[in-house]
């Protein structure tokens, strides 16, 4: 502690500990606060304590990350309102495929879409349709739904726009988009293959026609598609054109990603058919608030010097965060303890170089499959599956999530350490 600021520093530490306790618990006991509310309250506490002025708090926020995240929320909203995700899922469902091939198709589609659009949005759009498809075909929907959740998480690791933590890592470490894709895409593709193989050949797997895991429900005609927006060719084409243009800009130009994404979002908001309020209704404002609050709280904590002292102490014990093995363990542990976005925010200030960034992006994302609570995408699938008449619990998820996470992390570890 700095002696001249001892009491202030202790106040910051108390706020920091409270906020991250909220990240672990998903809120604070006896208070109607979720993680976003806890982060916001922490930022208010830091400012109210006098540890930071409002101007300093604003400068603590990595605006490029927030703008990039917001812009791709707009792109995802456009695709959802245009009925794109529903149309793709229906096309896959209509293919004359057997059980294992259909499972592979769903995993592949979820993985590819999640690399460009939000994995949470993909799970929101596809889960009811996948559940309905399996119940219609008298297939056990559990492997398909767990495959969807895990594939969305895995696929989102392929790019620096696939999920919020990757956007943060890419922005703060200034990682080149194309360079990251070249390193991440092979292990992500192989991980999707491992996921499919485990679901097909895992011990105790269900028989192809077994739908016993589904709760018997009376499904009305067209169930699972009634809530979906109708497919709009123009709105979908518009969204795909913007998404494709952004990918090309990211790959082949030096235009700042957040600026290009903002321009793309602006183009999509210029519409005579989709009201801007409808698009804004699909923005995850709570996630944006979580980012902003944690930026402020973490910056205040760093100002105490305790984080730097802890890193120095660990180094003296032979534990270096720059070591890929240590980073892997820290990334997996923290991601499942406080969630992957807060975990990345804690680790990023102590990392340098593209290799550390690639490792953290892959590890923190794949770690989301370990436990049911490790990823919002997992919780979305469980919630929507229950509404569709399919019960999933943490045990069912663990039987797939734990081995798949260990296998994919082992694959990534071997890939990143492979010579050349």
- Per DSSP, 230 falls in state P
> pTM, whole model, 2 decimals?
0.86
Burial tier of 383 (Cβ tally within 10 Å: 0-12, 13-18, 19+): middle
Please spell the DSSP secondary structure of 126-165, one letter per residue: HHHHHHHHHHHTT--HHHHHHHHHHHHHHHHTTSTTSSHH
CA angle 58, 74, 385 (to 5 degrees): 110
pLDDT at 217: 43
Read off the pLDDT of each residue in 39-53 and give the average, rounded to a whole number: 94
Read off the pLDDT of each residue in 219-245 and give the average, rounded to a whole number: 75
Please spell the DSSP secondary structure of 391-405, one letter per residue: ---HHHHHHHHHHHH
Confidence of residue 156 (pLDDT cuts 50, 70, 90): very high
Confidence of residue 153 (pLDDT cuts 50, 70, 90): very high
Q: How far apart are CA 372 and CA 380, in angstroms?
A: 10
pLDDT at 131 over 80: yes
Confidence of residue 40 (pLDDT cuts 50, 70, 90): very high
pLDDT at 236 over 70: yes
Q: Where are the domains of the chain?
A: 63-417
Q: What is the mean pLDDT of the chain?
A: 87
pLDDT at 351 over 60: yes
pLDDT at 227: 58
Residue 390, SS3? strand
Residue 249, SS3? helix
Poorest-pLDDT segment among 102-106, 170-174, 221-225, 308-312: 221-225
Please spell the DSSP secondary structure of 15-58, one letter per residue: HHHHHHHHHHHTS-TTS---HHHHHHHHHHHHHHHTSS-HHHHH
Q: How far apart are CA 79 and CA 119, in angstroms?
A: 13
Confidence of residue 225 (pLDDT cuts 50, 70, 90): very low
pLDDT at 316 over 60: yes
pLDDT at 215: 44
Read off the pLDDT of each residue in 124-135 and give the average, rounded to a whole number: 88
CA angle 114, 338, 413 (to 5 degrees): 60
Core vs surface per residue 251-273: b (16+ CB within 10 A) or e: eeeeeebbebbbebbebbeebee
- The tokens for 376 are 């919002």
Q: How far apart are CA 26 and CA 49, in angstroms?
A: 24
Confidence of residue 3 (pLDDT cuts 50, 70, 90): very low
Read off the pLDDT of each residue in 222-231 and give the average, rounded to a whole number: 58
Q: How far apart are CA 103 and CA 145, in angstroms?
A: 9
Instruction: Region of 217 please: left (phi>0), alpha (psi -120 to 50) or beta.
Output: beta
Helix (H) or strand (E) holding 385: helix 376-387
Read off the pLDDT of each residue in 147-160 and give the average, rounded to a whole number: 95
Read off the pLDDT of each residue in 97-126 and give the average, rounded to a whole number: 91
pLDDT at 419: 55
Could you tell me the CA-to-CA distances from 277 to 70, 226, 228 in Å, in that order?
15, 22, 18
Q: How far apart are CA 149 and CA 125, in angstroms?
A: 12
Please spell the DSSP secondary structure of 174-228, one letter per residue: T--HHHHHHHHHHHHHHHHHHHHHHHHH-TTPPPTT--TTBPP--PPTTTTTTTS
pLDDT at 365: 94
How many Å is the maximal CA-CA distance in the chain? 72
pLDDT at 96: 86
pLDDT at 226 over 70: no
């Amino acid at each position: 502690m700095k002696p001249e600021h001892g009491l202030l520093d202790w106040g910051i530490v108390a706020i920091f500990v409270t906020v991250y306790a909220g990240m672990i618990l998903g809120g604070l006991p006896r208070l109607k606060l979720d993680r976003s509310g806890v982060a916001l309250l922490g930022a208010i506490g830091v400012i109210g304590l006098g540890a930071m002025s409002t101007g300093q708090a604003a400068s603590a926020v990595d605006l490029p990350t927030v703008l990039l995240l917001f812009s791709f929320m707009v792109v995802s909203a456009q695709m959802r309102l245009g009925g794109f995700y529903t149309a793709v899922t229906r096309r896959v469902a209509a293919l004359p495929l057997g059980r294992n091939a259909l499972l592979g198709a769903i995993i592949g589609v979820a993985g590819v879409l999640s690399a460009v659009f939000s994995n949470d949005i993909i799970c929101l759009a596809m889960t009811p349709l996948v559940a309905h498809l399996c119940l219609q075909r008298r297939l056990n929907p559990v492997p398909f739904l767990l495959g969807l959740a895990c594939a969305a998480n895995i696929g989102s690791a392929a790019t620096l726009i696939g999920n919020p933590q990757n956007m943060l890592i890419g922005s703060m470490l200034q990682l080149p988009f194309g360079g990251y894709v070249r390193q991440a895409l092979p292990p992500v593709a192989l991980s999707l293959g491992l996921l499919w193989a485990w679901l097909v050949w895992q011990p105790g797997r269900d028989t192809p026609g077994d739908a016993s895991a589904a709760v018997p429900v009376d499904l009305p005609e067209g169930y699972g598609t009634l809530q979906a927006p109708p497919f709009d060719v123009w709105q979908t084409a518009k969204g795909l054109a913007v998404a494709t243009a952004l990918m090309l800009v990211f790959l082949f130009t030096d235009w700042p990603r957040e600026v290009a994404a903002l321009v793309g979002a602006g183009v999509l908001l210029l519409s005579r058919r989709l009201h801007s309020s409808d698009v804004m209704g699909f923005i995850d404002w709570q996630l944006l608030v979580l980012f902003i609050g944690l930026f402020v709280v973490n910056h205040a904590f760093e100002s105490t010097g305790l984080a730097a002292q802890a890193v120095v102490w660990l180094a003296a014990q032979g534990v270096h965060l720059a070591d890929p093995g240590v980073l892997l363990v820290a990334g997996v542990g923290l991601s499942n303890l406080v969630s992957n976005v807060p975990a990345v925010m804690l680790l990023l200030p102590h990392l340098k170089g593209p290799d550390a960034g690639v490792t953290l992006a892959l590890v923190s994302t794949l770690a989301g499959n370990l436990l049911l609570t490790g990823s919002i995408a997992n919780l979305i699938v469980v919630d929507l599956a229950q509404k569709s008449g399919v019960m999933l619990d943490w045990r069912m998820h663990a039987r797939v999530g734990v081995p798949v996470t260990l296998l994919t992390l082992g694959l990534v570890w071997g890939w990143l350490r492979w010579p050349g």
